[in-house]
Amino acid sequence: MHLHHTKRCNCQLAIAAALSAATILTATTAQAQHMGHATGNATEMPAMSGDPDMSGPMQGHDHMHAPPVGVMGAHLAGQGKFMLMYTPMFMHMQGSRIGTRRVSQEEIVTTIPNRFDMMPMTPGVQPATLRIAPDDMSMEMHMFSGMYGITDSISLMLMTSYVEKSMTMVTFAGPSGTTRLGTSEGHTAGLGDTTLALAFKIWQTPGHKLNGTLGVSLPTGSIEERGRMLNPMGMMMEMRSAYGMQLGTGTYDLVPSLTYMGSSGRIGWGAQAKARIALEGENEEGYRWGDLYEATAWLSYKLTSALAGTARIAASTQGQIHGQDSQIGGIFQGTYPEFYGGDRIEAFLGLNGHMPLGEGRMARLGIEAGVPLYQNLNGPQLSRDWSLSLTAGLHF
């Protein structure tokens, strides 16, 4: 997860795009089967009437498949056109890993050294190891984005989000041992970081398209959130929340992407590379998130004229946090900057749907769910369990 403020750059342009729930998709498809397909970017579909491409002028007949819900920056609005999207994303993390190996909470609190002198157990005595370990963490990100077509080849995009994070932590009694004392829960919520970007067409031929985006993540999310945690002596302490519980990165970040899409008949395919690169050395609290690099590839298949299934695989790598917030510390793994970042490979399945509304307007609906196939984490660090993205959009 991320953190934020005004002096560095590290905000996930992780614009987790998604469309609506499968039940809504099914109902909508029944009404829209006889109408032309229009979503994101399109693929050629023989024996179908023209499918206006939401990534280009609505009057065009560029029969392209839409990319999966979780792929952002793939489409343009078309000159004078608007696209509005609401994308809720949900993620759950459970258990910890060091590298690829799962580790128990008991192993963490008996083997990972404590380097902070912030939690006195008795006068002048500090625990030798961490004494608090996470159990699970959940995140909700409600993203709101808008796009306007300056020309048929260039669109302007603005995206912001409301973020909620919750973490359950297990506290072990005293300065050593594996006796569980109890649990506590941290919660943060508020505005996340904001992204301003230009999306542009690079190259296009029948059945093939290459688009790019170039954006900047603005540090509008808080990096000063606080929470309460049970200490090993049985007392609740209030302190600044761990890095992963903050709402933004606190830095200005460069967020570029490059997306290729192709199609033939009912089958579509594509690939995207994107990054989030810090433009500052540190934020106002003295740290920055590690740069993030991601690549993904997918296939799609038109089930009907209004509904397509998607399958996608994604790989990412991110460096650890650089620097340190002087107010974040304690005998808990989330307070250690080096316990962030790592490598992941994830697999996703989804559905894309659309419903023409007449007069050049189009509604988009979709869903995509993902699970990790491989995780090699700078740890101990919470392991990703699953993710789910939904999206509803309007093009007019």
Residue with the two structure tokens 């994604």: 314
Count CB atoms within 10 A of the CB of residue 214: 14
Average pLDDT over residues 260-265: 95
In a domain, 225, yes or no: yes
Distances (CA, A) of 70 to 100, 294, 389: 25, 12, 7
Measured between alpha carbons, how far is 395 from 217 in angstroms, rounded to an integer? 24
Say if 226 falls within a structural domain.
yes
Tell me the three state secondary structure of residue 244. helix
User: What is the mean predicted confidence (pLDDT) over 364-384?
Assistant: 97
Q: What integer best gives the mean pLDDT of the chain?
A: 85
Place of tokens 């510390």: 329
Total domains in the fold of the chain: 1
pLDDT category, 9, cuts 50, 70, 90? very low
Q: What was the pLDDT predicted at 132?
A: 97
Q: Measured between alpha carbons, how far is 307 from 62 in angstroms, rounded to an integer?
A: 17
- The answer, yes or no, to whether residue 191 has pLDDT greater than 90, is yes
Whether 5 maps to a domain, the answer reads no
In this prediction, residue 124 carries a pLDDT of 52
Residue 16 is assigned to a structural domain of this protein = no
Whether residue 295 is predicted with pLDDT greater than 60 in this model: the reply is yes
pLDDT exceeds 70 at position 288: yes
Residue 365 lies in a domain: yes
- Each residue's pLDDT tens digit, 138-151: 999 999 999 999 99
- Give the structural domain span for 118: 22-395
- Give me the pLDDT at residue 360, please: 83
* 265 burial level (CB within 10 Å; 0-12, 13-18, 19+): middle
Question: According to the model, what pLDDT value does residue 118 have?
Answer: 54
**Confidence grade of residue 333 (pLDDT, cut at 50, 70, 90):** very high
Distance CA 201, CA 255 (A): 17
Tell me: the pLDDT tens digits for 80-133? Answer: 999 999 999 999 999 999 999 999 999 999 999 998 865 444 455 689 999 999
Asked whether residue 354 is domain-assigned, the answer is yes
pLDDT band at 33 (very low <50, low <70, confident <90, very high): very low
Average pLDDT over residues 187-205: 97
Q: Is 64 a domain residue?
A: yes
> What does pTM read for this prediction?
0.82
Reply yes or no on whether the pLDDT at 38 is more than 80: no
Q: What is the domain-level CATH number for residue 380?
A: 2.40.160.40
Q: What is the pLDDT of residue 117?
A: 66
**Does the pLDDT at position 369 exceed 70?**
yes
Whether residue 14 is contained in a domain is answered as: no
